[in-house]
Structure 1
């Protein structure tokens, strides 16, 4: 017993000593970890009013710090500071000195800078989340993180070469998200195929190219696989059909070809499938057994065959986009009968049959888009009760009958597009209840009746296009209530009566087309006061009276008043070549400037003898004046032989603005010493008038000028030609009709048999060519933090290197052609190259040179002009990517100019704005370093329609 008591006493004594020792050590450990965390705090700043660091104080225990979680030994196990509006840099040498650290969550902040530290000391790390940040440089080596189970670097800002080989050692990974980073182009990393514990793999938009390997089927635990927005090609591998646990498969915006693989129906757990914007072909039969589908996005492919009728039985389907394919047959009759469809878009196919009646049965359908097909029959009455509809587009089909009355007054709808069908009947007065309606397209149908007075109550209307129908009656005088109306197209109908004066109260009107009706009475003077009007077509009516004087101040790109009963004098501001033909068919109109119309000079009833005397006097005077001019010319030529245009006995000077100079002042200044530039079709001279005003004069080379000569004997002689060139006519027609602060002003044109001159305002800062490629070249400030400089330039269609490829085969120039030319200028800015250079090779320009470099896998960064500083080369690279997008060969794939501007704004070094990643939209204000909002976004399934 004594020995037992002694033994128990010794045991308790030892235990007491151990606990005492541990208690002694804990404060020291805590002290070390507090010191580490306080050092970490000094590298981070909170950009909002969050109190996240209020508890991070020396006197507190590390385990009481906000965002810090400790283990049972009171050691820091987790740092969770995600979504805390933190900025600053990270030192992993410091962080990894927390020996028990298993989890780092710093995602959705504004952390920046390069990570140069090694992660080798973070050997206990299970979870690393640095996604949604602003880091730069390459991802550090990861192979030492053998215990890592969760790795999220999505949209973290990293770039360069990714250490794919290090993933082979991370065999414990179950979650891997590396997408939306500008990594160097790389084939599909085969190291991933060894990570058999993966259930989540997100590699969208990270420059992966080549084919998806068959071995992807080894990752049988995958529930989410996203490889979208890469450069993947070839077929979808059969191995994908082994991934029976997949809930989401996203492969959109790649170059995938072939058919949906046989056995794809095995993926019965699939909820979201998006393989849009590829080149897939074949039918959809392999998808008929995917009964859990909620979102199906197959748009912009080459799929054919019929849509499986089984799709009509899908009970969870909410998003359905198959537009721009080659699908035939009917839509499944029961589609939407069992599910709450949010939108359906099957536009741009060859679908036939009736519109299924139950697509809005769930009461949540917002977009019904079936345009550009071959549907027949009428619109089911059920859609008149679909109060959730915002877009209703069924145009360009073979639909007929009357439109259900309820559709006209849907409260949420912002576009109703019924054009290019065979609809008939009236527009119901209930259209006044469509308070959200912005665009109404009814053109090319058989609608009839009057335009309801209540249309004026649809106060959001921006566009009304009801052309080519059988509408009759008058325009409601109450139309003045539509203050947002910008486009009004009523042409080719049976309207009559007067054009209401109240139309001039629609202050946003930009286009008015009332042609080919039976309008009578006078043209309302109020139309001339519309501030934004630039398109007015009132032709082929019965309008009478004079052209209102208020039209003298209007600035129009298009004017057509032909074939009416107008009389009187045409305002001088409208008597320009740009409006030739705009007044034909009005025998009562007169003009001193338009040759096709009679002169307005009154005939005083003079006798024939008196007229003959006057005409003879005028002829003699003209001869004297011409003789005097010839003498002056010869005298001038003897003094200076450097005259680039041949003097002519007959000059035709057309004025587009009020001038303070004569043609002789212009001609005298056209000397070689005043040459300031050469373009694709002519030379440009600087002219200084007596009053000190500066002008720029362009001499347009004639299109058939095959005998163009060089400068000889000190005299600049340009070739003779017969008639004006196409470039000359195009430039005059365009610029004489434009009035815009950012468009160079064309004062007049001066033409003779062998000379075509255009007189512009002078821009002292030179041309864009000078700034890019001559001694005046400026160094680009890629930081965009100074005042915006404004320069104007003019590139004539035909200048080598700027012409869009479609012009060569279609001679068709539109906005997308301008976007191409703008893209060429962006490439010049970034590369420092000219549009055409010998180094590009025969028959190649700067665009084909850029594309060849990209295809040959040469680093894009090597294409950036060497004079651009290292600090801003990445920013220049962003502009180059936009330029490549602008110069894609297929016009429809080029962005709009509005989108180009938005992309350039988002490419600013300190600007991330409205970026969508993994269906989440993030708006970031760089100046304030804060996220303005985040909102869920549906997939790219809703089309351009």
Structure 2
């Protein structure tokens, strides 16, 4: 009996030793820089306690190997298929490279195979279909290309097929409809050739999830999909589908979520969708739908309804107010009319309401915040009237309020002024009256207060000085009066103050110098008196100053000469004395009119040198010239002819230059041309040179000189011409730069003064940035001395610049080459986004962007989807900006030898997982900022998410940056989960920041 026991035991021991030997060979075939497999000890009898290894069965055989996030590299370890009972293998998020070998078909016992987020290339092996037990195949986030193999039709037990985010470029094959066991089909984000949705997919009657987002789909949605009665989630967004939404979709009795946004669908919303009793989310925004919103649809238990940017009309059905779970309603950008349902919000936890850009009228429903959940109330550009309901004054959950361009009247509820979490309060162009209540001191999170063009009276309350986060205060066009409160000088974050057209009086306090971040000061059309404070000259970032139409007296402060003003207006005051020399120019003439006591060398002002005196000087000079001619007649005649010939040649040469200015210029093109010598070169490349030019008025500009003709390698910033990665005709780059920067006015976008062109040469004249580019500064010897406060300021400035391009420009602009060398730094370490040579305007129709003919961008910054789809879209800029954030936090270049084969994004992710945040952050940074730096790092990682849909908009990035260090509302920072096989995500956060009014 004892011998029999040994006989039975021996094969088991031998088997376990053999499996350990196989895994040892697997270990040797992989590169393991983080020693993730360090406890795989060859001296052990069994591998069952090794990390990532699980065993089961009577003889404890290896059944599962999970090496996710282990930072392993190397080709796929085919030896692992020799494990006789292996049922589950996961190598998720490593650097497994090369092609997936055909002998993967030897893993006969596999039920689950997860190779997602690796570097696998080549075609999908047809032998995968030889795995008879396989139920889940996840190859998401690799570089597989070509067609989906025809052999895949042979899968008999496959339930999950996820090929998202690869380079598959064939058509979606009809034979996928043969895999009737499928529960999840995810082919999203592949550059498939244009094709229709195969009707055969309607045969997948067990399917619960179908994700075909951005798959280059065309044609109509087939009626056959109505047979998918178990379908929970249908996502066909970001394609070019046409025709109506099929009525047959009303047969999807189990569906919870339908996403059809950003297509070209037409017709009306089918009433049959009202049969979907499980429907929680419908997103058909950014299509061309017409008609009204069916009453039947509003009777289902919706939680989120997004129908914005269509052509819908009619009234909003009253039945939508009875939906008990509705928390998101976005229908902006349509032609809907009538009143909002009176009970809206009474029965549902409404969080986000956006009905902007419609034709709604009537009063606001009083119960919008009855459940205490309302965060965003966006109703601009309608015809709402009446007063703001008193109940909204108790809605402490509100964060964003835009009531602009309506017909509201009456007083704003006292509690409404002091809502603690509101960061944007916009009441432009209404008829609100009454005073700004003292309760505004409780609005601790308020950043933007915009009250323009109403009928507010009284003064600014002293309590407004406690709003430490206030960035913009605009209250022009009201009836406000009194002195500016002294506490207003405490607002150190203030960048814009516009009180034009009110009845303010009194003197400006010298404490105005505390507004170090002030960019715009407009006090025109009031009754301010006294002298203009000399301290205004210390506001280094001020570029807009309008004090016209007041009672200011005394002299103009000489300190104003030190400002770099885009606009100056001191007209119609009581100013006297001499105009400071650098301001006494004809181009500023209108800035000083209406001040009888002002003197300066400008026609119309006292002290102007009249024409008679000027002629006297001319005649004196001529007399001297004649006297000299008598003495030196022969030599002078010779010199005269030589000089005339030279002057004519110069005149002819200069006459060829065409100058287009975008701001008031204090210099001429001649002054620029005469300074383009080699001593002034600060950068050079194959496309031309960059010069530093010091003007006679003391200002400095940067001049980019581009030679015409041919395709050349182009560059990033003004001083980084040699480091670019893109190529293209310089004429197109020049035109793009002029077209873009010529229209833009923003403190965080580099200013283009003018452009000068001839047939052979083109010049771009910019404001000069003393500290060069962020890339040069960060990676030079000075980089280690950049403190965290300075780096954070640079990140926020650049984010605000990009946000302006994406959300405030009409149409929006995509930069396409965001990188550290294209972010320039001024003398105060303020950041400006620069180099718009490859920028593109986004199609206003909201359609999926078209592919470009070449890749624009720089290695390490290019979003993964852009590299193969060549599609221009804001998400590409956001990815690049995320890389810049990681670059600033780590002070490592995006591509560097010290990172090995990884780029910066992968290096940060793997290092965080293996070693922690301390090994990621630049050691030169003060450790006391670790918590804040970690939050910024997380924003960078969110921006570099592999799936574009998971990246936040730039507006949301700015908001998150501004919230760092404050109280953050987690409900506003939800992001959509990756569609990688998990059935948990239902809702599309992306819609929350889309559209011109969101």
TM-score (norm 2): 0.68
C-alpha spacing 1:685/1:485, structure 2 compared with 1 (3 Å): closer
Counterpart selection for 2:98 from 114, 120, 124: 114
Per-residue CA distance 1:308-364 (angstroms, 9 max, x = gap)? 211101111122211222222222221221222222112121112211111211112
Contact kept, 8 Å, 1:294 with 1:316, in 2: the verdict is yes
CA offsets 1:446-469 (integer angstroms, 9 cap, x no match): 111111111101111000000101
1:176, 1:198 within 8 Å by CA — same for their partners in 2? Answer: no
Structure 2, unpaired ranges of 5+? 168-189, 656-660, 684-688, 744-753, 755-803, 819-836, 888-893, 896-902, 906-940, 954-969, 977-987
Query: Which residue of 541, 561, 566 maps to 2:570?
Result: 561
- 1:172 paired with 2:160, answer no
Q: Distance in 1 between matches of 2:868 and 2:9?
A: 62
Residue 536 of structure 1, CA deviation: 0.3
Matched with 1:436 is 445
Q: Deviations over 1:175-225 (max 9, x none)?
A: 343334443323246364443322122332344444433222232221122
> Is 1:389 the counterpart of 2:398 in the alignment?
yes
Structure 1 pair 801–525 and aligned structure 2 pair: CA distance change class (3 A): closer
Q: Which residue of 599, 604, 614 corresponds with 2:607? A: 599
Distance 1:897 1:873 in 2: 9
Say if 1:44 and 1:235 are closer, same or farther in 2 by CA, change over 3 A. farther
Query: Where does residue 878 of structure 1 map in the other structure?
Result: 866
C-alpha spacing 1:403/1:801, structure 2 compared with 1 (3 Å): closer
CA deviation profile, 1:22-71 (whole Å, cap 9, x unmatched):
4322222222322232333345567779x775366551523333333334
Aligned to 1:221: 230
Larger Rg: 1
The 8 Å contact of residues 714 and 724 in structure 2, kept in 1 or not, is answered as: no
* Rounded Cα–Cα distance in structure 2 between residues aligned with 1:797 and 1:97: 58
- Name the CA distance, whole Å, in 2 between partners of 1:325 and 1:102: 53
- Match of 1:645, SS state, is helix
SS at match of 2:695: strand
Q: Within 1, Cα distance between the matches of 2:219 and 2:614?
A: 86
1:102 aligns with 2:87: yes
Q: Please give the alpha-carbon distance, in whole angstroms, between the structure 2 residues aligned to 1:68 and 1:406.
A: 60
Q: Which residue of 2 aligns with 1:773?
A: 710
| Corresponding residue of 2:17 | 31
1:464-503 to 2 correspondence within 5 Å? Answer: 464-503=473-512
What does residue 258 of structure 2 align with?
Answer: 249
Residue pair 1:514, 1:539 contacting (<8 A) in 2 also: yes
Shift of 1:789: 7.5
SS of 1:468 mapped into structure 2: coil
What is the CA–CA distance in structure 1 between the aligned matches of 2:580 and 2:131, rounded to whole Å?
81
1:314/1:335 contact within 8 Å kept: no
**Aligned equivalent of 2:332:** 323
SS at match of 1:62: coil
Q: Secondary structure at the match of 2:593?
A: coil
Contact 1:92–1:117 at 8 Å: present in 2 too?
A: no
Look up the match of 1:712: none
| Maintained 8 Å contact 2:295/2:319 | no
Instruction: Tell me if structure 1 keeps the 8 A contact 2:230–2:254.
Output: yes
CA distance in 2, matches of 1:180, 1:502: 56
CA deviation map 1:61-96 (0-9, x unaligned): 2333333333414332222344x3534245152333
SS at match of 1:940: helix
- 2:513 is equivalent to residue 504 of structure 1: yes
Match of 1:143 among 129, 135, 138: 129
Unmatched runs of 5 consecutive residues or more in structure 1: 1-11, 649-653, 668-682, 697-740, 750-758, 827-844, 886-893, 924-932
Q: Deviation of residue 547 (structure 1)?
A: 0.3
Shift of 1:523: 0.7
Q: Taking structure 1 as reference, are residues 919 and 23 closer, same or farther at Cα in structure 2, changes over 3 Å only?
A: farther
Q: 2:623 matched to 1:620? A: yes
Residues 903-942 of structure 1: matches in 2 within 5 Å? 910-912=903-905, 913=941, 914-915=943-944, 917=947, 936-937=975-976, 939-942=989-992
Cα deviations by residue, 1:667-701 (Å, 9 ceiling, x for unpaired): 9xxxxxxxxxxxxxxx9788659xx66899xxxxx
Q: 1:734-883 maps to which residues of 2 (within 5 A)?
A: 745=693, 747=695, 767-769=705-707, 773=710, 777-778=712-713, 863=854, 878=866
Separation in 2, partners of 1:179, 1:193: 20
- Shift, 1:787, TM fit: 10
Flag the 1:171–1:657 CA change in 2: closer, same or farther, 3 A.
same
SS in 1 for 2:11: helix
- Following superposition, the deviation at residue 243 of structure 1 comes to 1.6
1:514-529 equivalence runs, <5 A: 514-529=523-538
Question: 1:349 aligned to 2:358?
Answer: yes
Separation in 2, partners of 1:762, 1:443: 37
- Tell me the CA shift for residue 519 of structure 1: 1.2
C-alpha distance 803-488 of structure 1, shift in aligned 2 (>3 A): closer
Q: Do 1:443 and 1:467's aligned partners in 2 also have CA atoms closer than 8 Å?
A: yes
Distance in 1 (alpha carbons) for counterparts of 2:904 and 2:681 = 40
Checking the alignment, whether the CA contact within 8 Å between 1:369 and 1:394 is kept in structure 2 is yes
Q: CA separation in 2, counterparts of 1:158 and 1:86?
A: 18
Question: Cα deviation per residue 1:100-149 (whole Å; 9 max; x = unaligned)?
Answer: 32223333x23342333123223333323333445455544343345433
Relative distance call for 1:35 and 1:633 in structure 2 (3 A) is farther
Using the TM superposition, give the Cα deviation of residue 292 of structure 1 relative to its aligned residue in structure 2, in angstroms: 2.5
User: Take 1:688 and 1:185, find their aligned partners in 2: how far apart are those partners?
Assistant: 52
CA contact (8 A) 2:544 2:565 kept: yes
Identify if the C-alpha distance between structure 1 residues 561 and 306 changes in structure 2 by more than 3 Å, giving closer, same or farther. Answer: same
Asked if 2 retains the 8 angstrom alpha-carbon contact of 1:879 and 1:904, the reply is: no
Q: Conserved in 1, the CA contact under 8 Å of 2:852 and 2:871?
A: no
Deviation at 1:618, TM superposition (A): 5.1
The separation in 2 between residues aligned to 1:43 and 1:510, in whole angstroms, is 60
TM-score (normalised: structure 1): 0.72
More contact order relative to length (CA 8 Å, sep ≥ 6): 2
Higher mean displacement: 266-275 or 594-603: 594-603
- Residues 297-446 of structure 1 aligned to structure 2 (within 5 Å): 297-446=306-455
Return the match for 2:558 from 549, 572, 576.
Answer: 549
- Aligned partner of residue 143 in structure 1, secondary structure: helix
Structure 2 CA distance for partners of 1:32 and 1:253, relative to 1, 3 Å: farther
Q: Report the equivalent of 1:66.
A: 51
CA distance in 1, matches of 2:533, 2:715: 51
How many residues get paired? 787
In 1: Cα distance, 2:574 partner to 2:518 partner:
25
Change (3 A) 1:129 1:351: farther
Q: Which moved more, 1:131-140 or 1:484-493?
A: 131-140
Deviation at 1:761, TM superposition (A): 6.8
Residues 439 and 462, structure 1, Cα contact 8 Å, conserved in 2: yes
- 2:992 alignment partner, SS class: coil
Q: In 1, Cα distance between the equivalents of 2:648 and 2:617?
A: 39
Contact 1:801-1:824 within 8 A present in 2 as well: no
Tell me which residue corresponds to 2:62. Answer: 76
Give the counterpart of 2:73 among 88, 95, 99.
Answer: 88
Q: Deviations over 1:558-583 (max 9, x none)?
A: 11111111111111222345434111
Quick one: distance in 2 between partners of 1:378 and 1:778? 60
CA RMSD of aligned residues (A): 5.1
**Relative to 1, partners in 2 of residues 1:342 and 1:145: Cα closer, same or farther, differing over 3 Å?**
farther
Q: Is the 8 A contact 1:864 1:877 kept in 2?
A: no
